[in-house]
Amino acid sequence: MALLAALILPQVRVTRVDQLPLRTTDLVTWLRTRMLCLRPDAHIAVGIASARRMEDFYALGRKTVLTIYNGVPDLEPQTKSSVPPDLGRSRLRAVSVGRLDLMKGHDLLLQAIAQIEAVELVILGEGAYRPALEQMVTDLNLSQRVALPGWSHQPRQALEQFDIVVQPSRSEGFPLTVAEAMLAALPVIATQVGSIVEAIEDGKTGLRLPLTV
C-alpha cells in the first residue's frame, strides 16, 4: 500500500527494494505485484539470486531488477574489542544470529552440534520458535554447550567473542549476519541458499553446505 501511494503522488521518484522475493499463486496478487514492480523508477534486490527470482516470479524480463548488496557499518575504533582470543580453550566457539524462526534453520544446527563434541554454540535472537529450540537442547543433551541468551542490540560487537559464524537458514536473501561476520574477519559456515553463494567463497572465506532438509 505504501508503494502504491508513492506511485500515485506526482513528481515523486520511487525505488522498490526486495530482500527475499516470495512467489504467489493467487492471480490477483500476482497481477498487483507485477504492476507494482513495473511502475517504479528503479527496482533493486539485495543479491543476484533475489533479483533473478523476482524477474522470474513476476515475468519482469531479465536484468530489469538491479542488484545492490546489503551492507553493514564498521564499528567505531573505541568500541572494538581489544581482548585477545583465549587460545587455551578446548572447544570452538560458534555463534548464529537471527530471529528464532523455523526458516532460520536453528533446529538443523542443533542436530549438527549434537554430533560434534568440540563445539560450543550461542544463538543470538528471539522469536516464537524459542520453546521448540529449548526443548531440542534438552532432548539432545546440549545444555552444557548451547546457550540462547536472547536478542542482542550489538551483534557486530558480540561476534568478536567467537571463532566462527554459522548461518543454517532454509531461505535467505543476502543476510546481514554474513556481511557482519566478514567485516569481523570471521569464517562463515552457511547453507547454500539465496545470495549466500555470492558472499562466501567456498573453502576460502567459509564453507557452503547444501540444504538437505
Kindly report, residue by residue over 48-89, the tens digit of the pLDDT. Answer: 999 999 999 999 999 999 999 988 887 765 555 544 445 456
Residues 55, 83 share a domain: no
Residues 192, 129 share a domain: yes
- Alpha helix positions (H), the chain: 2-8, 27-38, 48-57, 106-113, 130-139, 155-158, 176-183, 196-199
Mean pLDDT (whole number) for 27-47: 94
Q: What's the pLDDT tens digit per position in 101-149?
A: 999 999 999 999 999 999 999 999 999 999 999 999 999 999 999 999 9
Task: Report angle CA 204, 162, 100 to the nearest 5 degrees.
Answer: 95
Which grid coordinates belong to 187?
569464517
What sign does the dihedral 33-39-44-49 (CA atoms) show? Answer: positive
How much is the pLDDT for 205? 85
How much is the pLDDT for 142? 96
Residue 59 lies in a domain: yes
Residue 185 lies in a domain: yes
Residues 83, 43 share a domain: no
Residues 90, 147 share a domain: yes
Residue 146 lies in a domain: yes
How much is the pLDDT for 87? 47
DSSP summary character for residue 202: B
CA dist., res. 110 & res. 133, Å (int):
8
Residue 154 lies in a domain: yes
Nearest to 114 by CA among 92, 139, 89, 132: 139
**Cα 63 to Cα 7, 44, 68, 99, distances in angstroms:** 22, 10, 13, 32
Nearest 5°: phi and psi at 52?
-65, -40
Looking at residue 191, which CATH number applies to its domain? 3.40.50.2000
Task: Report angle CA 79, 84, 89 to the nearest 5 degrees.
Answer: 130
Q: What's the pLDDT tens digit per position in 167-207?
A: 999 999 999 899 999 888 899 999 999 899 899 989 988 99
How much is the pLDDT for 161? 87
Residue with cell string 533473478: 52
Span between the terminal Cα atoms of the chain, in Å: 35
Residue 46 lies in a domain: yes
| Domain count of the fold of the chain | 2
Answer yes or no: are the C-beta atoms of 45 and 173 closer than 8 Å.
Answer: yes
Residues 200, 95 share a domain: yes
Mean pLDDT (whole number) for 31-38: 93
Residues 47, 88 share a domain: no
Residue 49 lies in a domain: yes
CA dist., res. 213 & res. 197, Å (int):
18
CA dist., res. 34 & res. 21, Å (int):
12
Residues 97, 198 share a domain: yes
Which grid coordinates belong to 38?
513495473
Nearest to 197 by CA among 185, 186, 184, 210: 210
Residues 200, 110 share a domain: yes
Q: What's the predicted TM-score (pTM) here? A: 0.82
Range of the domain at 97: 77-209
